[in-house]
Amino acid sequence: MIRSADKSWHEILEYALKGMSQEYLEFLKRDENYFPKYPHILNAFRLPLSQTKYILFGQDPYPRKESAIGWAFIDGKVKKIFSQNGFSKEVNRATSLRNFLKMALVAENLLDDDLSQSAISKIDKSPLIKSIFELRDNFEKNGVLLLNMGLVFSDKKDSKKHIKEWRGFVCRVLSSLENEDIKLILFGNIAKEVAKLDEAKSFQTHLMPHPYNISFIRDQNALNLFAPMHLLNLRSRD
């Protein structure tokens, strides 16, 4: 599981995993009846520690095997962001992602009062990213590590159990970073629980509604934080 992470995280992750119950770790090793698959659980930590400026906490993975790929908020089922009619069908079916992208378009002054498909279809998309993986890359180029509170999904009724099991892991990751200049971005009610952890009290936090809520699109905290990142802009490859 740790192999998918950048080496700069290995020591911290080994320590963090010791904060979880042995029974649950054995459940993970069996690599059955949950997703993402065992080798991809810690994909978010591919971003080197030295480049990490923020940790964005979501709740748990998407409840679809093809969508949950190891990064909070990045839906692996979504291939194209846009279509000639506005957003692609895959984006329109993913409420949280759709609202986040609308917020990003508002932040770029590409949308205003009209948030419709028709308005989106009229935007010049030549300077914009085309795929969900380009969005992930732009998050990471801005130093945003995309982490869920619960790192696996098996069934909706088990979500709270998984989040509880991963809490010890999250606490140890945060305690290991207390001397790093890293800020926390917290989405949703469960992610807000991070702010209550003793290990999180030394971090500057950005609280905002979960993107599932339409209020996120014009949330001033979200606009202020993400506008300077230009997450939808095409960037030259290194």
Determine the pLDDT at residue 189. Answer: 81
Q: What is the pLDDT of residues 90-115, one digit of tens each?
A: 999 999 999 999 999 999 999 999 99
| Six-digit token string for 156 | 């909706």
Task: CATH number of the domain at 62, please.
Answer: 3.40.470.10
**What domain range is 175 assigned to?**
2-229
Place of tokens 């059955």: 32
Q: What is the pLDDT of residues 156-173, one digit of tens each?
A: 999 999 999 999 999 999
Determine the pLDDT at residue 238. Answer: 44
Phi then psi for residue 58, to 5 deg, are -100, -165
In a domain, 100, yes or no: yes
In a domain, 238, yes or no: no
Distant-in-sequence contacts of 105-109, Cβ < 8 A, 24+ apart: 105/232, 106/217, 106/218, 106/223, 107/223, 107/226, 107/227, 108/227, 108/230, 108/232, 108/233
In a domain, 188, yes or no: yes
Q: Which residue, among 71, 96, 102, has the nearest Cα to 188 in the 3D structure?
A: 96
In a domain, 147, yes or no: yes
In a domain, 216, yes or no: yes
Determine the pLDDT at residue 8. Answer: 99
pTM of the predicted structure, to 2 decimals: 0.94
Q: What is the mean pLDDT of residues 34-63?
A: 96
In a domain, 13, yes or no: yes
In a domain, 237, yes or no: no
Domains of the chain: total: 1
Place of tokens 């982490």: 147
Q: How far apart are CA 116 and CA 77, in angstroms?
A: 23
In a domain, 17, yes or no: yes
